[in-house]
Amino acid sequence: MESNSPPPHTRFRFMNQQELALVINVRAYWSLPDGGPKTYSRKQTLTTTVDINGYGLLQLVDYIGERFMWGSKQCITLWRSLEDASIQIKTDEHLVEWICIIINA
């Protein structure tokens, strides 16, 4: 997302050996749809259950993208929330690392 669209933050809750409850917090942002009016969207929380062995960054981005309206010049960035900082999730490896941290906690 552009600077006027704060990134979603993700966190996980371990459900069982194969599944995690994924909680995605999307902060308030301005939607700039192509050819449409600029629209303010309030913060929202999405929750879904994912298979930890078959879920990647592209599936996560698609899941979020299906539920929000953005213009073609806006892009999404994902961050994992820590106690005192946030770290960007840029690759499947980053997503797997985050899942492993949660599983081993």
Examine residue 61 and state whether it is found in any structural domain, yes or no.
Answer: yes
- The conformation of residue 64, written as its DSSP 8-state character, comes to H
What is the reported pLDDT for 44? 94
What is the reported pLDDT for 6? 47
Examine residue 1 and state whether it is found in any structural domain, yes or no.
Answer: no
Domain count along the chain: 1
C-alpha dihedral (28, 6, 30, 95), degrees to nearest 10: -100
- Please tell me whether residue 92 adopts helix, strand or coil conformation: helix
Per-residue pLDDT of the chain (105 residues; tens, 9 = 90+): 444 444 555 555 545 568 888 888 898 999 999 999 999 999 999 998 888 888 888 999 899 989 988 888 888 888 888 788 888 999 989 988 887 877 776
What is the reported pLDDT for 52? 80
What is the reported pLDDT for 75? 86
Examine residue 54 and state whether it is found in any structural domain, yes or no.
Answer: yes
What is the reported pLDDT for 40? 95
Residues of the domain holding 58: 9-93
Q: Give the predicted TM-score (pTM) of the model.
A: 0.72
What is the reported pLDDT for 15? 54
Examine residue 75 and state whether it is found in any structural domain, yes or no.
Answer: yes
